[in-house]
């Protein structure tokens, strides 16, 4: 079984919550920084119905680290990671991911960038109902043009590491919530992305399965050219974090570096 590392006040009037750096341009982003958010504001709606979800966030995510985003429901964690992943646009502010300013790429270029560089574990799993577990896990490789059989072999390896290989030929409606979550995690990791973003990756898992998932994510994040962002309410896994960003009311209140 292969190891997981083996595969080929601003214009809005918002007071920004500067956290780790005062770097402002793409060219000056440190080589150690995988993601740099500057002054991120996100509004939904308009006029009297407008709701400001993010309140001017500055945040650096470093290579070789697991950065956790924690805080109460509704504080903006999922919105922030969706902006980092290029799934949502910020109303104000800039996001540099792996040296690329996301506002500078659109359409097919953005899709291509995400498919090659990002792995995303969604809260709702988003598995394709017409594909079995192995095929779902293999999707990122197949999209990149990897031969079907080779992609399935790689996917099966990750499913084995996650303790779900016996269910590789089952379809999503034949899997439990925890099993679907592990398939979704395998899908996020199978193409060896440089940035992995996880929204509650252990929410549907028992302690043993959750620990196995975090061990795998820790191995991935230990690479100096990769980074992991995890949104979680699960205090059982806080010990796996390198840095914990505490959020409330659309702001990052503080960041704590966890003990070695």
Task: Band the pLDDT of 207: cuts 50, 70, 90.
Answer: confident
DSSP-assigned states of every residue in 27-91:
GG--TTEEEEEEEEEEEES-GGG-EEEEEEEEEEEETT-EEEEE-STTSSHHHHHHHHTTSS--S
The mean pLDDT value for 84-109 works out to 94
pLDDT confidence of residue 205? 84
| Sequence-ordered alpha helix ranges (H) in the chain | 77-84, 107-117, 133-143, 148-161, 177-189, 207-221
Is pLDDT at 23 greater than 80 in this prediction? no
pLDDT confidence of residue 232? 93
Which residues touch 137 (CB under 8 Å, ≥6 apart)? 155, 156, 158, 159, 183, 186, 187, 190
Q: Please identify which residue in the block is written with the tokens 């840095």.
A: 243
How long is the chain?
260
Digit-coded pLDDT (tens) for 163-194 = 899 999 999 999 998 899 899 999 999 999 99
Is pLDDT at 5 greater than 70 in this prediction? no
Which pTM value belongs to this model?
A: 0.82
Domains of the chain: 26-257 (3.40.50.300)
pLDDT confidence of residue 178? 87
């Amino acid at each position: 079984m292969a190891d997981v590392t083996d595969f080929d006040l601003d214009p809005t009037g918002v007071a920004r919550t500067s956290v780790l750096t005062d770097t402002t341009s793409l060219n000056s982003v440190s080589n150690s920084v995988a993601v740099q958010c500057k002054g991120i504001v996100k509004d939904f709606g308009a006029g009297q119905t407008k709701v400001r979800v993010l309140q001017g966030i500055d945040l650096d995510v470093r290579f070789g680290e697991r950065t956790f985003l924690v805080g109460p429901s509704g504080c903006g964690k999922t919105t922030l990671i969706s902006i980092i992943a290029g799934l949502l646009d910020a109303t104000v502010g800039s996001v540099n991911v792996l040296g690329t300013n996301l506002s500078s790429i659109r359409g097919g270029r953005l899709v291509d960038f995400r498919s090659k560089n990002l792995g995303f574990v969604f809260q709702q799993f988003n598995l394709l109902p017409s594909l079995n577990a192995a095929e779902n896990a293999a999707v990122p490789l197949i999209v990149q043009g990897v031969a079907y059989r080779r992609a399935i072999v790689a996917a099966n390896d990750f499913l084995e590491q996650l303790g779900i290989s016996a269910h590789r030929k089952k379809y999503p409606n034949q899997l439990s919530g925890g099993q679907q979550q592990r398939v979704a995690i395998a899908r996020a990791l199978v193409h060896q992305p440089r940035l992995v973003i996880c929204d509650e990756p252990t929410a549907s898992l028992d302690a043993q399965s959750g620990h196995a998932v975090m061990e795998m994510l820790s191995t991935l994040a230990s690479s100096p050219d990769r980074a992991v962002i995890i949104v979680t309410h699960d205090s059982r896994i806080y010990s796996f974090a390198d840095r914990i960003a505490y959020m409330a009311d659309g702001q990052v209140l503080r960041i704590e570096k966890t003990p070695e």
